[in-house]
Amino acid sequence: MFLSLAGLKFGRPSRIAACVLALATVIVLTDHSGGQSPPAPPRAGADACAQQLARIKGNFITKLLAEARSALADGLGPEALAVCRDVQALQPENKVAAQLALRAETAIKTAAARPPTKARLNSLPAARQALAERLEKARKDVIAQYWALAQSYEEKNQPADKARCLTEVIAMDPNNEQAHAGMGDKFIPEFGWVKEEIQRKWAEGLWFENGQWMKWEDVSRARITALKARESQNLGEGFRYAATHHVTLASNLKDEAFEKNLIQGLENCIIDQRVRLFEPFETGQDKPLNAIVFQEKSEFSEYCRKIHSHSADSMGFYSPERRTLCAWRMDGSMTNGIGTSFHEITHGTLEDYMGPNLPVWLDEGLASFHEKSRPKGNGVNFGPINIPRMGKLRELLVSGQTITPRELVAMDHAAWEQQLMLNYNASAMLMHFLWDRGALQTFLRSFKSSHDAQDALTRAMKQDFATTDREYQAFIREKLLDPEALKKMNKQMEGLLPF
């Protein structure tokens, strides 16, 4: 029986109840917002608490600056720069950190022009490891101090000051279970730690929209009405509308199973990105995205003509002005119609996280990274690599040439367009490389704060740029040239092997 989206009612389950039910509904109706903190009660000794917290932070910064100087003395320019950036994130006005950062940048340029000796190269890993261990010890020490201070305020029955201390613990250690429990948070698998107030609102069937808490039924109705008003004249008859918590959909698909997979897949893709790639969204920052999906390419092309889009011959596109992805079904496989939708929706979620005017290599690289993702449980599985799209990069590697991360991240839009498919390949592989090394989330977070790709790569990989380049080259050659690796990934794409 054909699925009529217009007839579906998307209720707002309790978040806790939803966990008990294991998200059994077809549409995942859940909020990934971090929420707004409840108003703090009157605080006793707030000034004393602030002074103690500032003292701990100040001592920590002093240790970090000492480690930055030590790293410079040991010839660890990238690591020294990363420590300085950490200090500047904690205390933007710190002049010593700014001066040391300039020295570190000079040291990095000097090292690039004058390669180190073999003996020096052999000594660097031990020096890096020792620095990393000292930094980790300093981080754990400051967490322990915040925690001890929180405990002392609990004994004094000063809950607001205790909460301030636990907030500092969580800032240093986002997954600290004791601190979250002390704040009344609950861990919801697909979203991470959720604040107590948000749990109560969800349990009441409310959703934060336009600066206020509203009934989900009212939110859903308003979103559908707005999308209809904007798009009905461009779409014609036969389109149905529906709203999940993160996506408002218009569709004329004829396959019920495909439509269910598509809408649940989009919802799960957004949720999963926010959990595994982006920082939690605060309530009010979580804006819905739109999706328009056509059964036939001719319908998609006609729509492009009506809205003056140049994407009529493509598989899909994302319009930032409309916050809308558009795609056509192609065939029933998860690697096309749904994979294209995952690619396009990523443009929207990444812009929400990073802001507008992103470099094209990052925007398209992360979107391409999602093309082979498939729904898995309440999220998606990243991978495998989209081997069929990697032809240009494979050709380059076979010829003995390559493209480096340094070249890639330096590209502006004009340079990107000159070798379009090759650059798509290389940027997607850079995202796969970072994910394989467990560094993609750190890279995105660092780039968000600095907008300096080389600095963000150095911080994420915790090593100099030359080492990262060598590891990236080895990674892409293995994945794209090694027969056994190719065979395994092709079987993964066919569903014959797990990711």
pLDDT in tens, 404-449: 999 999 999 999 999 989 999 999 999 999 999 999 999 998 899 8
Residues 455-470 have pLDDT tens digits of 899 888 888 788 899 9
The predicted-structure confidence for 206-262, as pLDDT tens digits, reads as follows: 988 888 899 999 999 999 999 999 999 999 888 999 999 899 999 999 888 888 888
Maximum C-alpha span of the chain: 73
Give CA–CA dist 280/174, Å, rounded. Answer: 11
Helices (DSSP H) in 437-464: which residue ranges?
Answer: 440-450, 453-461
**Helix and strand element counts for the chain (H, E):** 21, 11
Which DSSP letter does residue 251 get?
Answer: E
Residues 6+ apart with CB under 8 A from 182: 150, 154, 162, 163, 166
pLDDT in tens, 16-51: 333 322 222 233 223 333 444 444 444 445 689 999
Which pLDDT value is given to residue 366? 95
* Count of other CB atoms within 10 angstroms of residue 212: 9
Closest by CA to 70, choosing from 111, 131, 129, 122, is 131
Enter the DSSP assignment of 33.
B
**What order of strands is seen across the sheet that includes strand 316-319?**
240-243, 247-251, 289-294, 324-328, 316-319
pTM, two decimals, is: 0.76
Distance between CA 474 and CA 491 in Å, rounded? 22
Distance of CA 70 to the CA centre of its chain: 33
Q: For residues 191 and 239, what is the distance between their CA atoms, to the nearest angstrom?
A: 32
Chain segment 90-101, per-residue pLDDT in tens: 999 999 999 999
Which amino acid is residue 465, in one-letter code?
F
User: In angstroms, what CA-CA distances link 282 with 32, 168, 178, 195, 279?
Assistant: 8, 17, 22, 10, 9
What does the block give as tokens for 388? Answer: 């069929």
Name, in order, each residue with C-beta under 8 angstroms of 429's C-beta and a sequence gap of 6 or more.
385, 390, 393, 472, 475, 476, 479, 480
Question: How far apart (Å, rounded) are the C-alpha atoms in residues 165 and 155?
Answer: 13
Pairing of strands 240-243, 212-215: unpaired
The token duo for 209 is 């929209």
pLDDT digits (tens, 9 = 90+) for 42-56: 444 568 999 999 999
Residue 391: is its pLDDT beyond 90?
no
Please choose, from the candidates 360, 490, 381, the residue with its C-alpha nearest in 3D space to the C-alpha of residue 426.
360
Preceding omega of 39 cis (within 30 degrees of 0): no
- Rama region for 275: left / alpha / beta (φ>0; ψ in -120 to 50; rest): alpha
Helix axes 46-73, 118-155, angle to 10 degrees: 170
Most confidently modeled range among 9-18, 39-48, 276-285: 276-285
Residues ≥6 apart with Cβ < 8 Å to 217: 9, 11, 12
Average pLDDT over residues 59-74: 95
Nearest partner of 367 among 469, 261, 495, 273, judged by Cα:
273
- Residue among 258, 394, 393 nearest 335 (CA): 258
